[in-house]
Structure 1
């Protein structure tokens, strides 16, 4: 998956469902994607938070998007969290975590977001191994980029990453079912299950109607233990090759 910024709980359900998770930053950067923003709930409703970047462009890959090293935007973001969640029931157990993530000094967005993901995974007690972009052979991309069919590029990238880490299954969110085909994976001895979050069950467990916001919101409002329980509110859907 792309390295999202403080992603929603479904992202962590996916991490929790696998043995190895790869936040991969050699994909093209998409403006207004979850890589560079997320949503929290303030006094006046839902609003976006964004790490400040330099030279962000869809012509670059995520790993080449630089993070602004200045602390001004970090102070502003942390202040926004304070204003939004100063009276939240579980704020006391999460301030240090959020401060550590927000103020982390990383040169690029890939590294910055992956650090945050790792910190939250540890905070939730998820035991999945998290690899980084640097752990995947850079030789994969020249081969992938030489393919003319976008679907083949996307699927070949995934199967070659699986080969590089000796993975026999690739789990993708159910929302991506139209992007991947078992006909590509089965001949390569790889299965292709999809994970479908049950957001209604998640909202009930977390006792919040805003379970689809950033994991930071859910941590503040529902706490770590309820989030750990909500990780199981999902289903793995197997796929079959087309007839």
Structure 2
């Protein structure tokens, strides 16, 4: 049983979807603290004037502890604004006419209340478009986790009967891998190198942008630019 646990991102980059495709269950770590100016509620797209952040406005109550799954959207019209920005900047993309109905439907149905639910909405729809059928769940769906950064992850893996745990290489800086080993869980690290370039709009090629950039430019061939799916 292969498991990955990650905080949810808004319309994340292609590597995030490779992570999802690689495992049997992808757990959104939604009962963790929401952090400002992070990937939870924003991501980048390309424009004729350079990279641009698309940010979902959320309610943040001062400096108090606030979980991701309790963080609410603060402006109901955000989805229309983002959709219009995408249309404006990708109208010349090669597959615009093929994908705009899918993109528009996804945004017009994004009426959820919290950022956690919104992200799950987009992740689910995009995974379906990319033919990724991995189960996506929330950490809050499971029983109360143990205290400690690594202990919580191990506990969640045990509840899922995981034999392999996948994570990013940055986790090496804070994670105690021996706690997984003691529970007979192998730790694997994602490889984000050597992604193929595609016919992208505007200036120099940029990998670190939303998956929507790839979809606008490559349409249903987008999945072939992910590592798990080759032609």
Tell me the CA shift for residue 134 of structure 1: 4.3
Tell me the CA shift for residue 57 of structure 1: 5.4
Q: Does 1:47 align with 2:40?
A: no
Match of 2:196 among 188, 203, 210: 203
Q: Which residue of 2 aligns with 1:147?
A: none
Q: Does 1:157 align with 2:164?
A: no
Contact 2:21 2:228 in 1 (8 A): no
Give the whole-Å Cα distance in 2 for the aligned partners of 1:97 and 1:133.
Answer: 28
Q: Which residue of 1 aligns with 2:12?
A: 7
Q: Could you say if the C-alpha distance between residues 233 and 179 of structure 1 is closer, same or farther in structure 2, counting changes exceeding 3 Å?
A: farther
Q: Which residue of 2 aligns with 1:136?
A: 142
Match of 1:82 among 80, 83, 87: 87
Q: Could you say if the C-alpha distance between residues 4 and 182 of structure 1 is closer, same or farther in structure 2, counting changes exceeding 3 Å?
A: same
Instruction: Tell me whether 40-49 or 60-69 shows the greater mean CA deviation.
Output: 60-69
Match of 1:63 among 53, 63, 69: 69
Q: Which residue of 2 aligns with 1:223?
A: 219
Unpaired stretches in structure 2, ≥5 consecutive residues: 1-5
Q: Which residue of 1 aligns with 2:128?
A: 122
Q: Which residue of 2 aligns with 1:150?
A: none
What TM-score do you get using the length of structure 2 for normalisation?
0.87
RMSD: 1.9
Give the whole-Å Cα distance in 2 for the aligned partners of 1:105 and 1:98.
Answer: 14
What TM-score do you get using the length of structure 1 for normalisation?
0.83
Contact 1:203 1:210 in 2 (8 A): no
Runs of 4+ in 1 over 4 A off after TM superposition: none
Q: Which residue of 1 aligns with 2:3?
A: none
Structure 2 counterpart SS, 1:66: coil
Aligned pair count reads: 218
Instruction: Tell me whether 90-99 or 42-51 shows the greater mean CA deviation.
Output: 90-99
Task: Answer 1 or 2: higher relative contact order, Cα 8 Å, separation at least 6.
Answer: 2
Structure holding more helix per residue: 1
Tell me the CA shift for residue 228 of structure 1: 1.4
Tell me the CA shift for residue 5 of structure 1: 0.4
State the Cα deviation string for residues 171-222 of structure 1 (Å, max 9, x = none). Answer: 0022332232321210011110101112xx3233x24412220111111123
State the Cα deviation string for residues 1-54 of structure 1 (Å, max 9, x = none). Answer: 001000001101111111110112111111111111100011211110011212
Unpaired stretches in structure 1, ≥5 consecutive residues: 145-152, 235-243
Q: Which residue of 1 aligns with 2:165?
A: 170
Contact 1:56 1:65 in 2 (8 A): no
Give the whole-Å Cα distance in 2 for the aligned partners of 1:94 and 1:81.
Answer: 12
Structure 2 counterpart SS, 1:197: coil
